[in-house]
Amino acid sequence: MRTKIAAGNWKMNKNYQEGLNLVLDIQKNTQPSDVLVILATPFLQLKEAIHITRYNPHIKIAAQNCHHEEKGAYTGEVSANMLAAINVEYVIIGHSERRQYNRESNEIIAQKVNAALKAGLKPIFCCGESLEIRNEGWQERFVNNQIERGLLHLSAEELESVIIAYEPIWAIGTGLTASPEQAQDMHFSIRKKISEEKGEKLAQNMSILYGGSVKPNNATQLFSQKDVDGGLVGGASLKASTFIPIIQALENDPT
Protein backbone atom coordinates (compact mmCIF):
# COMPACT_ATOMS: atom_id res chain seq x y z
CA MET A 1 0.00 0.00 0.00
CA ARG A 2 1.30 3.45 -0.93
CA THR A 3 2.06 5.98 1.81
CA LYS A 4 -0.42 8.83 2.02
CA ILE A 5 1.48 12.10 2.44
CA ALA A 6 0.49 15.64 3.39
CA ALA A 7 3.54 17.80 2.75
CA GLY A 8 3.73 21.52 3.45
CA ASN A 9 6.16 23.71 1.51
CA TRP A 10 6.52 26.95 3.45
CA LYS A 11 8.77 28.55 0.81
CA MET A 12 10.28 31.88 2.03
CA ASN A 13 7.72 32.47 4.77
CA LYS A 14 7.74 32.55 8.59
CA ASN A 15 10.50 34.02 10.73
CA TYR A 16 12.31 31.74 13.17
CA GLN A 17 9.80 31.82 16.02
CA GLU A 18 6.72 31.92 13.80
CA GLY A 19 7.92 28.77 12.08
CA LEU A 20 8.56 26.91 15.32
CA ASN A 21 5.17 27.96 16.65
CA LEU A 22 3.57 26.53 13.52
CA VAL A 23 5.42 23.21 13.91
CA LEU A 24 4.18 23.03 17.51
CA ASP A 25 0.63 23.93 16.48
CA ILE A 26 0.49 21.30 13.73
CA GLN A 27 1.95 18.64 16.00
CA LYS A 28 -0.50 19.50 18.78
CA ASN A 29 -3.50 19.23 16.46
CA THR A 30 -2.65 16.04 14.55
CA GLN A 31 -3.33 12.54 15.76
CA PRO A 32 -1.40 9.38 14.83
CA SER A 33 -2.77 7.97 11.58
CA ASP A 34 -1.70 6.38 8.32
CA VAL A 35 -0.87 9.82 6.90
CA LEU A 36 2.74 10.98 6.89
CA VAL A 37 3.05 14.73 7.46
CA ILE A 38 6.16 16.38 6.00
CA LEU A 39 7.01 20.00 6.79
CA ALA A 40 9.45 21.74 4.47
CA THR A 41 10.56 24.70 6.56
CA PRO A 42 13.10 27.37 5.64
CA PHE A 43 16.68 26.37 6.43
CA LEU A 44 16.89 28.37 9.66
CA GLN A 45 14.16 26.31 11.38
CA LEU A 46 15.25 22.85 10.26
CA LYS A 47 17.32 21.75 13.24
CA GLU A 48 14.86 22.94 15.89
CA ALA A 49 11.86 21.58 13.95
CA ILE A 50 13.55 18.16 13.91
CA HIS A 51 14.10 18.44 17.66
CA ILE A 52 10.44 19.35 18.29
CA THR A 53 9.14 16.40 16.26
CA ARG A 54 11.85 13.88 17.22
CA TYR A 55 9.45 11.56 19.08
CA ASN A 56 6.64 11.84 16.53
CA PRO A 57 6.97 9.18 13.81
CA HIS A 58 4.08 10.73 11.86
CA ILE A 59 5.77 14.10 11.25
CA LYS A 60 9.01 14.48 9.30
CA ILE A 61 10.99 17.56 8.30
CA ALA A 62 12.20 18.42 4.80
CA ALA A 63 14.55 20.99 3.33
CA GLN A 64 13.35 22.99 0.35
CA ASN A 65 16.50 22.57 -1.70
CA CYS A 66 20.09 21.32 -1.71
CA HIS A 67 23.15 21.90 -3.88
CA HIS A 68 24.37 19.29 -6.33
CA GLU A 69 27.98 19.42 -5.10
CA GLU A 70 29.16 18.01 -1.78
CA LYS A 71 31.18 21.12 -0.85
CA GLY A 72 33.01 24.04 -2.38
CA ALA A 73 32.94 27.75 -3.14
CA TYR A 74 29.17 28.07 -3.55
CA THR A 75 28.23 31.07 -1.42
CA GLY A 76 24.77 30.83 0.08
CA GLU A 77 24.22 27.17 -0.81
CA VAL A 78 23.62 24.14 1.42
CA SER A 79 24.78 20.63 0.58
CA ALA A 80 22.85 17.40 1.03
CA ASN A 81 25.53 16.22 3.46
CA MET A 82 24.97 19.29 5.64
CA LEU A 83 21.26 18.49 5.78
CA ALA A 84 21.88 14.85 6.58
CA ALA A 85 24.24 15.85 9.41
CA ILE A 86 21.33 17.49 11.29
CA ASN A 87 19.00 14.54 10.55
CA VAL A 88 16.91 16.06 7.79
CA GLU A 89 15.16 13.13 6.06
CA TYR A 90 13.56 14.69 2.96
CA VAL A 91 14.45 17.40 0.45
CA ILE A 92 12.37 19.07 -2.27
CA ILE A 93 14.14 19.01 -5.63
CA GLY A 94 13.12 20.54 -8.94
CA HIS A 95 10.33 22.82 -7.75
CA SER A 96 9.07 24.99 -10.60
CA GLU A 97 10.16 28.14 -8.76
CA ARG A 98 13.73 26.82 -8.61
CA ARG A 99 13.55 25.82 -12.28
CA GLN A 100 12.25 29.27 -13.27
CA TYR A 101 13.95 31.75 -10.94
CA ASN A 102 17.26 29.89 -10.53
CA ARG A 103 17.33 28.42 -14.03
CA GLU A 104 17.78 24.87 -12.79
CA SER A 105 17.97 22.52 -15.76
CA ASN A 106 16.90 18.90 -15.86
CA GLU A 107 20.59 17.98 -15.77
CA ILE A 108 21.27 19.98 -12.59
CA ILE A 109 18.13 18.55 -10.99
CA ALA A 110 19.29 15.01 -11.80
CA GLN A 111 22.62 15.81 -10.12
CA LYS A 112 20.75 17.11 -7.05
CA VAL A 113 18.73 13.91 -6.89
CA ASN A 114 21.99 11.95 -6.99
CA ALA A 115 23.54 14.10 -4.24
CA ALA A 116 20.48 13.73 -2.02
CA LEU A 117 20.36 9.96 -2.36
CA LYS A 118 24.11 9.65 -1.79
CA ALA A 119 23.69 11.58 1.47
CA GLY A 120 20.81 9.35 2.55
CA LEU A 121 18.05 11.90 1.94
CA LYS A 122 14.71 11.11 0.30
CA PRO A 123 13.98 13.44 -2.65
CA ILE A 124 10.55 14.94 -3.26
CA PHE A 125 10.90 15.39 -7.01
CA CYS A 126 8.70 18.10 -8.53
CA CYS A 127 7.45 18.20 -12.09
CA GLY A 128 4.75 20.09 -13.95
CA GLU A 129 3.82 22.03 -17.05
CA SER A 130 3.01 25.66 -17.87
CA LEU A 131 -0.43 26.81 -19.02
CA GLU A 132 0.93 27.28 -22.55
CA ILE A 133 2.08 23.67 -22.73
CA ARG A 134 -1.24 22.41 -21.37
CA ASN A 135 -3.18 24.50 -23.85
CA GLU A 136 -1.13 22.91 -26.64
CA GLY A 137 -1.97 19.46 -25.27
CA TRP A 138 1.66 18.51 -24.64
CA GLN A 139 1.48 18.20 -20.85
CA GLU A 140 2.02 14.45 -20.61
CA ARG A 141 4.96 14.49 -23.00
CA PHE A 142 6.52 17.45 -21.13
CA VAL A 143 6.15 15.96 -17.65
CA ASN A 144 7.33 12.52 -18.75
CA ASN A 145 10.42 14.18 -20.23
CA GLN A 146 11.12 15.86 -16.88
CA ILE A 147 10.85 12.49 -15.16
CA GLU A 148 12.97 10.72 -17.75
CA ARG A 149 15.78 13.26 -17.54
CA GLY A 150 15.59 13.83 -13.80
CA LEU A 151 14.87 10.38 -12.37
CA LEU A 152 15.06 7.47 -14.75
CA HIS A 153 18.84 7.19 -14.63
CA LEU A 154 18.29 5.77 -11.13
CA SER A 155 17.94 2.09 -10.35
CA ALA A 156 14.58 0.75 -9.19
CA GLU A 157 16.04 0.37 -5.72
CA GLU A 158 17.11 4.02 -5.65
CA LEU A 159 13.70 5.13 -6.92
CA GLU A 160 12.05 3.48 -3.94
CA SER A 161 13.29 6.44 -1.85
CA VAL A 162 11.77 9.05 -4.19
CA ILE A 163 8.40 10.81 -3.88
CA ILE A 164 7.06 12.51 -7.01
CA ALA A 165 5.04 15.72 -6.74
CA TYR A 166 3.09 16.80 -9.81
CA GLU A 167 2.57 20.55 -9.66
CA PRO A 168 1.07 22.22 -12.73
CA ILE A 169 2.84 25.59 -12.87
CA TRP A 170 -0.37 27.33 -13.87
CA ALA A 171 -1.99 26.27 -10.57
CA ILE A 172 0.79 27.26 -8.14
CA GLY A 173 -0.19 30.30 -6.11
CA THR A 174 -2.72 31.40 -8.72
CA GLY A 175 -5.90 30.18 -7.07
CA LEU A 176 -6.44 27.90 -10.06
CA THR A 177 -6.51 24.18 -9.38
CA ALA A 178 -6.36 21.23 -11.73
CA SER A 179 -9.69 19.45 -11.71
CA PRO A 180 -9.70 16.08 -9.95
CA GLU A 181 -9.90 14.48 -13.39
CA GLN A 182 -6.92 16.47 -14.71
CA ALA A 183 -4.88 15.54 -11.66
CA GLN A 184 -5.81 11.87 -11.99
CA ASP A 185 -4.96 11.78 -15.69
CA MET A 186 -1.47 13.16 -15.09
CA HIS A 187 -0.80 11.00 -12.04
CA PHE A 188 -1.86 7.95 -14.05
CA SER A 189 0.47 9.00 -16.87
CA ILE A 190 3.39 9.40 -14.44
CA ARG A 191 2.74 6.03 -12.84
CA LYS A 192 2.49 4.43 -16.28
CA LYS A 193 5.86 5.93 -17.27
CA ILE A 194 7.50 4.58 -14.12
CA SER A 195 5.91 1.17 -14.72
CA GLU A 196 7.10 0.98 -18.33
CA GLU A 197 10.66 1.97 -17.44
CA LYS A 198 11.19 0.45 -13.99
CA GLY A 199 8.44 -2.10 -13.40
CA GLU A 200 4.84 -2.30 -12.26
CA LYS A 201 5.66 -3.13 -8.63
CA LEU A 202 7.73 0.01 -8.14
CA ALA A 203 5.15 2.16 -9.90
CA GLN A 204 2.31 0.90 -7.75
CA ASN A 205 4.27 1.46 -4.54
CA MET A 206 5.45 4.99 -5.36
CA SER A 207 3.64 7.92 -3.72
CA ILE A 208 2.70 10.65 -6.20
CA LEU A 209 1.47 13.93 -4.72
CA TYR A 210 -0.56 16.73 -6.27
CA GLY A 211 0.47 20.34 -5.70
CA GLY A 212 -1.19 23.48 -6.97
CA SER A 213 -3.55 25.52 -4.79
CA VAL A 214 -4.63 22.60 -2.60
CA LYS A 215 -7.08 23.94 -0.01
CA PRO A 216 -9.47 22.48 2.57
CA ASN A 217 -12.39 22.93 0.18
CA ASN A 218 -10.87 20.92 -2.70
CA ALA A 219 -8.61 18.42 -0.89
CA THR A 220 -11.23 15.69 -0.50
CA GLN A 221 -12.04 15.61 -4.21
CA LEU A 222 -8.39 15.65 -5.25
CA PHE A 223 -7.36 12.93 -2.79
CA SER A 224 -10.26 10.69 -3.81
CA GLN A 225 -8.58 10.06 -7.17
CA LYS A 226 -7.05 6.59 -7.50
CA ASP A 227 -3.51 7.71 -8.30
CA VAL A 228 -3.33 10.83 -6.09
CA ASP A 229 -1.58 9.87 -2.86
CA GLY A 230 -1.60 13.23 -1.12
CA GLY A 231 -0.51 16.80 -1.62
CA LEU A 232 2.45 19.14 -1.65
CA VAL A 233 0.75 22.19 -0.21
CA GLY A 234 1.97 25.77 -0.41
CA GLY A 235 -0.06 28.67 0.96
CA ALA A 236 -2.54 26.55 2.89
CA SER A 237 0.31 24.94 4.86
CA LEU A 238 1.23 28.28 6.46
CA LYS A 239 -1.62 28.10 8.98
CA ALA A 240 -2.56 25.12 11.11
CA SER A 241 -6.22 26.10 10.64
CA THR A 242 -5.99 25.43 6.88
CA PHE A 243 -3.36 22.67 6.84
CA ILE A 244 -4.96 20.40 9.47
CA PRO A 245 -8.21 19.99 7.45
CA ILE A 246 -6.10 18.94 4.44
CA ILE A 247 -4.39 16.29 6.56
CA GLN A 248 -7.80 15.15 7.82
CA ALA A 249 -9.16 14.94 4.26
CA LEU A 250 -6.34 12.54 3.46
CA GLU A 251 -6.92 10.53 6.64
CA ASN A 252 -10.57 10.08 5.68
CA ASP A 253 -9.79 9.08 2.09
CA PRO A 254 -10.56 5.38 1.51
CA THR A 255 -8.51 5.03 -1.70
* Catalytic residue set: 95, 167
Q: What is the DSSP string of 65-134?
A: --BSSSSSS-TT--BHHHHHHTT--EEEES-HHHHHHS---HHHHHHHHHHHHHTT-EEEEEE---HHHH
Sorted by sequence, the CB contacts under 8 Å of residue 91 that are 6+ apart come out as 62, 63, 64, 65, 66, 80, 83, 116, 121, 122, 123, 124
To the nearest 10°, report the CA torsion of 68, 57, 253, 186.
10
Reported as half-sphere exposure (CB side, CA atoms, 13 A), residue 144 has a value of: 16
